[in-house]
């Protein structure tokens, strides 16, 4: 699919599938189009060309507010909390909207329990991220999209939050599409990864495959200042996955998609979301 703003494509030719029960990390430097991809999947930004299917249904013409009812939850980059309201009120609002299960959502983030009466605006960054995720979980999503969970958080906090995603996936069978700047941490928790650069998918595969090429990908695409540009933590971790040997082939255009097919037979229980480029305009 293609997506962008004011008629200019910022994501081009993206073909990506998230299956039930797996975590897919969407990686890439600033401005690559990661957020645009999630916004378009939610229906907050229109598809320019091609299509995105969530649980087999096209997002074209589906208003964004219907997404949660269809089992899609999206934790936005800005976390979208009601900062004047308490933690409990934030959770109750989300649960009411989706007729959801508050206790279950809270069970993944017990650290929020003593904070239920505190205004969301007073929480630490990590606590706010937990609240944003707990809000998303109240709707019992079958596909959870999390944008920059680590934004502004110390890597040690991120390291604590990411395994919760794995628990959610294991417990509920949901699929997760995780946008992350901390490449090394994301690759630890994800099953598959895709790398977007300037709107183009330049690599995708299992995390082992991507980790094996991380050195080459990072030096070529993430550059020295990738983390610093957003003011996020500079990622000291990214060097750790390089031992497997740098690959000179950066694979631009070569490794696209682990077989996300457009054809029949792919779907019934399979792909939760197809971000699927179709040839030609529609």
Which residues of the shown chain bind ligand ATP in the complex (CB under 6 A)? 5, 10, 28, 30-36, 230
31 binds, among ligand ATP, Mg ion, none (CB under 5 to 8 A by kind): ligand ATP
- As measured in angstroms, the least distance from the Cβ of 183 to Mg ion is 14
Whose Cβ is closer to ligand ATP: residue 206's or residue 230's? 230
Map the footprint of Mg ion across residues 23-42, applying CB under 5 A. 35
CA distance 106 to 104: 5
User: What are the residues facing 161 on neighbouring strands?
Assistant: none
CA distance 13 to 3: 9
CA distance 174 to 178: 12
3-state secondary structure at position 164:
helix
Whose Cβ is closer to ligand ATP: residue 48's or residue 95's? 48
- As measured in angstroms, the least distance from the Cβ of 206 to Mg ion is 24
3-state secondary structure at position 11:
strand
Angle between helices 87-97 and 125-137 (to 10 degrees): 20
- As measured in angstroms, the least distance from the Cβ of 33 to Mg ion is 8
Q: Is the distance from CB of 195 to CB of 217 less than 8 angstroms?
A: yes
10 binds, among Mg ion, ligand ATP, none (CB under 5 to 8 A by kind): ligand ATP
Whose Cβ is closer to ligand ATP: residue 34's or residue 213's? 34
How many angstroms from the chain centroid is the CA of residue 248?
A: 28
Whose Cβ is closer to ligand ATP: residue 86's or residue 230's? 230
Token match 């003593």: residue? 114
- As measured in angstroms, the least distance from the Cβ of 4 to ligand ATP is 7
Q: Which residues bind Mg ion (CB under 5 A)?
A: 35
């Amino acid at each position: 699919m293609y997506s962008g703003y004011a008629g200019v494509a910022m994501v081009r030719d993206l073909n990506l599938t998230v299956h039930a029960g797996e975590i897919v990390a969407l990686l890439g430097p600033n401005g690559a189009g990661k957020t645009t991809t999630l916004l378009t999947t939610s229906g907050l930004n229109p598809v320019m060309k091609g299509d995105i299917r969530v649980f087999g249904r096209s997002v074209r013409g589906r208003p964004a507010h219907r997404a949660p009812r269809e089992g899609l939850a999206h934790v936005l980059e800005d976390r979208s909390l009601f900062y004047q309201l308490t933690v409990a009120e934030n959770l109750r609002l989300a649960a009411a909207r989706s007729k959801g299960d508050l206790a279950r959502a809270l069970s993944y983030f017990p650290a929020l329990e003593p904070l239920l009466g505190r205004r969301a605006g007073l929480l630490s960054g990590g606590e706010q991220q937990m609240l944003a995720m707990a809000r998303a979980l109240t709707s019992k999503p079958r596909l959870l999209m999390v944008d920059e969970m680590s934004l502004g958080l110390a890597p040690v906090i991120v390291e604590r939050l990411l395994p919760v995603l794995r628990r959610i996936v294991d417990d509920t069978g949901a699929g997760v599409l995780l946008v992350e700047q901390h490449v090394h941490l994301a690759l630890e928790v994800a099953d598959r990864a895709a790398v977007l650069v300037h709107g183009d998918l330049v690599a995708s595969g299992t995390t082992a495959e991507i980790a094996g090429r991380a050195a080459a990908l990072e030096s070529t695409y993430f550059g020295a200042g990738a983390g610093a540009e957003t003011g996020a933590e500079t990622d000291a971790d990214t060097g750790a996955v390089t031992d497997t040997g740098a690959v000179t082939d950066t694979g631009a255009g070569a490794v696209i998609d682990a077989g996300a097919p457009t054809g029949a037979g792919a779907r019934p229980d399979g792909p939760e979301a197809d971000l699927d480029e179709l040839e030609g305009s529609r």
